[in-house]
Amino acid sequence: MNITSYRLVVSFGLISLLAGGCELIRRKQEEKTPAQSPRPVARVNDVYLYPDDLLGIVDSKTSPEDSAARVSAYVNSWIRKQLIIQEATRTMNIDEAEVERKVLEYRYSLIGYEYQNYYIRQHLDENISEQEITDYYNNHLDNFTLKQSIVRGTYIKVPRTAPRTNKIKEMIFSRKPKDQEELRSYCLSFSAAYHLGDSLWIEFDKLVVNSPIAEIPNKVQFLKSNPYYEAGDNEFLYYLKVDKYRISDNISPLEFVKEDIRNILLNKRKVELARSLENEVYENAVKQKNFEIFDR
């Protein structure tokens, strides 16, 4: 089983089944008397929740307010689960042996998942070279088709009341470091939103959201025809300079998907480490004769 499978197992129902299954089994325990145990925290019919059952829910660093809230949330959750469990036992036949088997199965999955994570943290090399990223990109180009148009450029949204708006276009087109720094400072002081031209690609729709440009019906034709564009409404002025663009359904530039590729390669390494761990543990057990399968 790979890491993703373990994660799915843990995420969907593991904790509830562990708690619920254990509580179902505990119903068979002998009822505690006041003389044998402390005062219970809560009760659902003949099932009790005791202070010992709350150990580990909060630690010494948690504030009294947060501790009380966390305990209260746990108690309420316990009551709801008990009500469901008891309703289930009244309306259907529960195979408690099967429940216990599933609890153990999920417990083993959780332990295996935690150990795999520990092993991966100890052995994972997180250094992904530029060459590895480039090679993966070139070998999987079909996986990087753009779903939306992307651009590199400058976008500025400022209130109409902002000062020196007549200088914005000049600063946008200037290549002087002094003017570029002045534009950045201006945006920090007065803009409602901005994206300054650099090497970063960004989805065009995300860039111009909440602007008149977002309402343009044919954005592909707009990008092809408007390397520079100004617009305005009652409250704001909008400035857009497009340095480069890539239309949807074309191959994404490497820079736009580089971080995605890095995560893909890291996940592949994790899966390989998990598989290597399973094989190593199994092969060592075979050599040392730590297990055997008996004839039935």
Q: pLDDT tens digits for the chain (296 residues)? A: 444 443 333 333 333 433 444 444 344 444 444 455 689 999 999 999 999 998 888 888 888 888 899 999 999 999 999 999 999 989 998 888 998 999 999 999 999 999 999 999 999 999 999 999 999 999 999 999 999 999 999 999 999 999 999 999 999 999 999 999 999 999 999 999 999 977 799 999 999 999 999 999 999 999 999 999 999 999 999 999 999 999 999 999 999 999 999 999 999 999 999 999 999 999 999 999 999 989 87
Residue 66: per-residue pLDDT:
87
127 Ramachandran zone, left/alpha/beta (phi>0; psi -120 to 50): beta
State the alpha helices, DSSP H only, in 174-294. 177-190, 204-207, 219-225, 254-287
Q: How far apart are CA 272 and CA 114, in angstroms?
A: 16
Q: How far apart are CA 129 and CA 121, in angstroms?
A: 19
Distance of CA 135 to the CA centre of its chain: 26
Q: Is the pTM of this model over 0.75?
A: no
Residue 249: per-residue pLDDT:
94
Residue 27: per-residue pLDDT:
46
- Those residues with Cβ within 8 angstroms of residue 246's Cβ, 6 or more apart along the chain or in another chain: 146, 149, 150, 151, 201, 252, 253, 256
Residue 106: per-residue pLDDT:
94
Residue 40: per-residue pLDDT:
92
Domain ranges of the chain: 3-111, 124-143+254-296, 146-246
- Those residues with Cβ within 8 angstroms of residue 10's Cβ, 6 or more apart along the chain or in another chain: 109, 110, 113
**Within 13 A of 92's CA, how many CA atoms are on the CB side?**
7
- 257: how many CB neighbours lie within 10 A of its CB? 20
